[in-house]
Structure 1
Amino acid sequence: MAAVSPAEIAIYHSWIDAYLVSAFVELFMDGLYTALIIVTILVIASIKQKRSLSDYVIYASLFLLYAMCMVHLGSWAAHIHDAFINHTGDTSTVFAFFSLASHQAIVRDVMAVAMTLVADLILVWRVFAVWGSSWKIASVPLILTLFALAFGIQYIDLATKPSNLVSLKWITDVAGIYYGSTLGNTVISTLLILLRVHSLSGTKGINRYWRFLSLVVESAALYSVILIIYMPYVTGTDFATHAPTEIVQSVVIPITVSPSLSMNPCYPLEVIYNV
């Protein structure tokens, strides 16, 4: 086995540190997410109005997102346990284990892409509902969603190849387009919702439903800012400085569902559509 230089050991060590920190950061973020889900359940339970089929679909989607987020966290915790407990050793040994394609890593990638897909589809449905069931308008965010899905599948496929994980060549080709598409979908969908409410009722409608709209805008803005911060990391090709990507990603995963959670049950889109 060839000797590993001190510089390489330092790089490996930075990656191992990033892996461990990211697991704790994601655990903390998922704790906040769990609290938010509990509040959402209490709000839903407190509403006595009759619910439509679309309401139940949205509720089911929110809980599906939460379940996938927990699966992502569980697979990450299992991977960390395998690396530091079951395959413990020196820095090179632990790093080599993380560099291998594993079922835990594949599960995380699948859950991340699936969560983004569900969250983006909820945004598409919002635009569709607000614009009077117009597929012509909703087609723009829908195309971006399908575009992101195509590159997300490629993202998963390439992540199963250890050589690509080490070289990071796949990052610039796929990740930038993938996250750029979902970012574009979030921004465009939010603007379309605001435009529709304003066009139907002007400033009066904006003021009337400001609580709902502020939730939509703020959650979308939070997700957009996080992605803007994340993209320079995920599209970088310098392996030595790429480790912080893992930590930032542990924030991106729970935040992915924030635009979806802003679907406040007190303000159904059908009501806004009829202002």
Structure 2
Amino acid sequence: MDTQINYANVMITKASTAVQCFFYGIYTALFTICTHIILKRQQRRYHYLIAIFLLFFLISAHVLLSVVDDAMWYCNLFDCRWQSESLRGRLCTAKFELLIAASAVADAILLWRCYTVWGRRWQIVVLPMILYVGCHVTGFVLDAPQSQAVKEGYKSPSGILIGSLDIAAIVAGAIGINNLVLSSMIAFRIFKVSHELESYLGPAARNLYRTVIAVTLESGITYSSFISLLFFIEVHQLRVGYQGEQSLVLDTFIDIGMRTWSPLAGIMSIIIIVRVALGIGFNDIEGTVTSMHATIASDNAPVLDIHTSGAERRDSITIFNFQS
């Protein structure tokens, strides 16, 4: 029986590590592109660089600690005597704190975007800001007894506590719901402005802003929905217990979700920052009209495309313009 449990745990760890490395690779590529774009712009906005470099450091540290924790878990599986349970408990605490810190930076970017999209009206973001502070502060405070709790509850192969009072599930649920609110507010604002822009630019603006709405949903709401789904699955596990093949599948999803949380948050943030840096985001109607005129005027300009066919060429940098 122990052999079967160990084999299942090894499979969960391998699957979780593979998915985490895959999303971290995507995030690293987007981080490199984003840094290059910002540095190439004439007007370098260094607060963007500070945000993405801070986020990159936190996410990379979280991934590194996950790899170290995996090595310690494998060592414990083969009865290595040098491993200390207290050391692994502190490692689990550090991983969770890095995860919450990375989430805090990414959610701050989403909160800032909601604030700018709504014309810098602080009244709009008061409630999400309170929830934002409450969620992340609660995560850090509840994480204090995590080392002792790991010994008392069920522990996944990656060291994340699953069972009893699951701190990760509580924080994930609160953060996911708050992010869903923010993303919905951004999407609603873009939808509203897209209709108002038709009086300035006519039907030409309609398709572009439908695409912008889709981008907002895919970058913000998809991430938020993923975190919320992670929370509901964990609640289900707490109610039915950690037994059976179905539980093994859900355990795997939870472990993968906790590992990919930070890279997904980074991907969402990078997309938002790149769109703003390229000038294809918007803050108000007047500014968007100017941006739209520039976009429409540039449609006839010859540019380079990696997918050349005949004389047609377009700039591959429009990967972040998401034109329909």
TM-score greater than 0.5 by the shorter chain? yes
Q: Secondary structure at the match of 2:78?
A: coil
2:186 corresponds to? 193
- For 1:245-267, what per-residue CA distance to the aligned partner results, in whole angstroms no more than 9, with x for missing partners? 21232232311223212222113
Residue pairs, 1:253-272, within 5 angstroms: 253-263=262-272, 264=275, 265-266=277-278, 267-270=280-283
Contact 1:130 1:273 in 2 (8 A): no
Matched residues, percent identical? Answer: 20
2:251 corresponds to? 243
2:39 corresponds to? 45
More deviation in 11-20 or 73-82? 11-20
Provide closer, same or farther for how the CA distance between residues 59 and 213 of structure 1 changes in structure 2, counting only shifts above 3 A: farther
Q: Which one-letter code corresponds to 2:112 in the other structure?
A: W
Does structure 1 residue 119 correspond to structure 2 residue 109?
Answer: no
Distance 2:170 2:283 in 1: 33
Q: Which one-letter code corresponds to 1:218 in the other structure?
A: E
Contact 2:135 2:175 in 1 (8 A): yes
Deviation at 1:137, TM superposition (A): 0.5
Q: Secondary structure at the match of 2:153?
A: helix
2:305 corresponds to? none
Deviation at 1:170, TM superposition (A): 0.8
1:133 corresponds to? 120
Higher helix share: 1
Contact 1:83 1:97 in 2 (8 A): no
1:80 corresponds to? 70
Q: Which one-letter code corresponds to 1:216 in the other structure?
A: T
Distance 2:125 2:28 in 1: 31
Distance 1:222 1:78 in 2: 29
Gaps of 5+ in 1: 1-5
Deviation at 1:106, TM superposition (A): 1.8
Deviation at 1:109, TM superposition (A): 0.5
Provide closer, same or farther for how the CA distance between residues 268 and 59 of structure 1 changes in structure 2, counting only shifts above 3 A: farther
- For 1:115-170, what per-residue CA distance to the aligned partner results, in whole angstroms no more than 9, with x for missing partners? 11111111111122222222211112212212211331244224222334338111
Residue pairs, 1:100-119, within 5 angstroms: 101-119=88-106
More deviation in 23-32 or 149-158? 149-158
Distance 1:81 1:175 in 2: 22
Residue 274 of structure 1, aligned match among 271, 284, 287: 287
Provide closer, same or farther for how the CA distance between residues 16 and 170 of structure 1 changes in structure 2, counting only shifts above 3 A: farther
Deviation at 1:231, TM superposition (A): 2.2
Does structure 1 residue 61 correspond to structure 2 residue 18?
Answer: no
Deviation at 1:110, TM superposition (A): 0.8
Distance 2:84 2:21 in 1: 22
Gaps of 5+ in 2: 155-161, 199-204, 289-324
Deviation at 1:67, TM superposition (A): 1.3
Contact 1:197 1:273 in 2 (8 A): no
Let me know the Cα RMSD of the aligned residues: 3.0
Q: Which one-letter code corresponds to 2:101 in the other structure?
A: A
Indicate the structure (1 or 2) with the bigger Cα radius of gyration: 2
Distance 1:253 1:274 in 2: 32
Residue 195 of structure 2, aligned match among 193, 202, 209: 202
Distance 1:137 1:25 in 2: 37
Deviation at 1:239, TM superposition (A): 3.2
Paired residue total: 259
TM-score w.r.t. length of structure 2: 0.69
Provide closer, same or farther for how the CA distance between residues 211 and 63 of structure 1 changes in structure 2, counting only shifts above 3 A: farther
